[in-house]
A and B are shown apart, each in its own frame.
Chain A
């Protein structure tokens, strides 16, 4: 394993290793090739995250492609995606590592089976004194044995650190864990290492790219935010959304994609409980394609709006505002 010194670059930054992306434009192009249309902001942050060897905290409304970004980066860089789904009550043994105690028990029992025939065979009282030292020695070797890597169950975080092949670590919905549990992540995120009391510190062979996503249901701790680059993914612009629809929905006409994007943009200017997300836009576009719609008119919009909006009050308001409810003018 490498020493600590040669891994630290100037200003105390860990050495990121060979660059995954040569420039911002390179990052954008390669992401686009894999089907993820990044704008300059997204590509810039991905590029920086690689160069600075820092995790990226991606925040934004649901369904704007936060998780997809991590997946795409993994695809593009030819890395394995390791995913840690967060939930309330997540703990060390689920996120970092756990000792495989069943196997440890087996190992101890197996040791006893080896030892016992010898113990029974010799004279009971005489052996007791001599066996003290011997038992101590076997216990120590046994302990070293059962706390070795063979008995370690790696969980996502440790897994991402330990593997030698390139990986992208995705910590999904990090805002779901309690504030205290966040601390589990800190060592991994800033030093790319995991300390196991019985084993010592395990350092990353190669620094993985890390993405954390948050739906912003609570404020994340300062300590976590400080260690990350921050990327806010909002709903895409009209042009980008149109392009996304065109790349992700096969068989859609340019005109329909444009119309879809424009209607969705108009919907997002309304005061709704839940705005249509990008994934819902895609669902809607697919629905329209399946129905064989060439150009959306009021009737079709009304009939399919429920794909986009999930609350009754939102549906009513949208129908009212877009005036698709009360009249049936044929489209020109």
Chain B
């Protein structure tokens, strides 16, 4: 690691510390200090583990690498009303019970495969309406929370993890190119010339 990288990383750490007042936990990771929702260390760990299954580390960084659990917690803390927060907490209990009943274990102790199976199971039980819909000018992932607590819990984490990921510096500069200042409007543009990664 050269000197420049060290300084840059140090700046990131300091910057992060300034931006997100955090509490250091046993395992050395640190998340946001919460003001409006009560989540203990285990519960925060659980949310972080779920986020990491949703956006795992692959050949590119995953949720934990990108500090997304802290972002998800911040959004849960600040951007959900009391009613939705209570539904989320009720869903968290249901989630733990579901895992315990099925695997006689905590979620964090499950294999990656089992963790994925738990999440996909919930997801398949209640998919949001299918069909493509144009992305909103200001997407609001915290709107229209599912009524059922288990789904409210799962989809909140999933949507905020995706929102945090797709608006992260890593994603917007490395995975896609967010063109803040396009300076152009080519109105009759061949699709073949678009630099899109097709499905």
Is the A/B pair a real complex? no
The chain B residues found within 8 Å of chain A, CB to CB, are none
